[in-house]
């Protein structure tokens, strides 16, 4: 299996790069398929705060590695996409920031996904797949607001 790393090669967030305010949602740029995958991942991770509460989550896709494959007969049943359609095996590094009233909580994670267009619409959906041993460890930091 060949995995390509494309676009958005923002350096890993170091301990010194955790400011006391959250970043904006960002999926950066890339080719059409990569941009659609980045947008789907940001949409999956970002959340507004519940009414009357704090804790909104913003997300940035830092890196994306992807491999386009044609759907086999068994995969078409598993993912509910037409046989012969394209799905993407994806490895992504995502940074999230949860904004509380007195602090922000950062998390940088690397995960594996399968992304595909859902049947009946043209919206790309990404499902997290099993955690492999070669993924980078999660980084979590809490920073008090000043």
Does any domain span residue 7?
Answer: no
The number of CA neighbours under 13 Å toward the Cβ of 108 is 16
Structure confidence at residue 119 (pLDDT):
64
Does any domain span residue 43?
Answer: yes
57 burial (CB, 10 Å; 0-12 / 13-18 / 19+) is middle
List pLDDT tens digits, range 128-140. 887 788 899 999 9
Does any domain span residue 9?
Answer: no
Confidence class for position 29, pLDDT limits 50, 70, 90:
low
Does any domain span residue 14?
Answer: no
Does any domain span residue 69?
Answer: yes
Helix (H) or strand (E) holding 99: strand 86-99
Structure confidence at residue 35 (pLDDT):
87
Q: What is the mean pLDDT of residues 76-91?
A: 78
Q: What is the mean pLDDT of residues 7-32?
A: 65
List pLDDT tens digits, range 87-134. 889 999 999 999 999 999 999 999 999 888 766 666 788 888 877 888
Domains identified in the chain, total number? 1
First to last CA, the chain: 47
Does any domain span residue 41?
Answer: yes
- Which tokens belong to 33? 């398929």
Structure confidence at residue 103 (pLDDT):
93
Does any domain span residue 3?
Answer: no
Does any domain span residue 132?
Answer: yes
Please check the confidence at residue 69 and state whether its pLDDT lies above 90: no
Identify whether the C-beta of residue 56 lies closer than 8 Å to the C-beta of residue 4. no
Please check the confidence at residue 81 and state whether its pLDDT lies above 80: no
Please check the confidence at residue 8 and state whether its pLDDT lies above 60: no
Q: Note down the domain range covering 55.
A: 20-144
* Of 123, 105, 124, the residue nearest 115 (C-alpha): 124
Interatomic CA distance for residues 54 and 85, integer angstroms = 41
């Amino acid at each position: 299996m060949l995995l390509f790393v494309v676009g958005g090669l923002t350096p890993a967030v170091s301990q010194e790069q955790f400011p006391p305010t959250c970043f904006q949602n960002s999926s950066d740029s890339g080719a059409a398929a990569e941009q659609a995958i980045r947008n789907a991942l940001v949409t999956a991770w970002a959340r507004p705060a519940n009414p009357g509460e704090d804790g909104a989550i913003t997300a940035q896709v830092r890196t994306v590695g992807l491999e386009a494959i044609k759907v086999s007969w068994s995969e078409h049943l598993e993912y509910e996409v037409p046989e012969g359609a394209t799905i993407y095996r994806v490895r992504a590094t995502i940074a999230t920031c949860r904004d509380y009233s007195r602090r922000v909580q950062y998390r940088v994670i690397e995960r594996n996904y399968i992304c595909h267009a859902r049947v009946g619409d043209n919206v790309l959906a990404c499902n997290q797949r099993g955690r492999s041993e070669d993924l980078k460890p999660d980084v979590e930091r809490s920073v008090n607001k000043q």
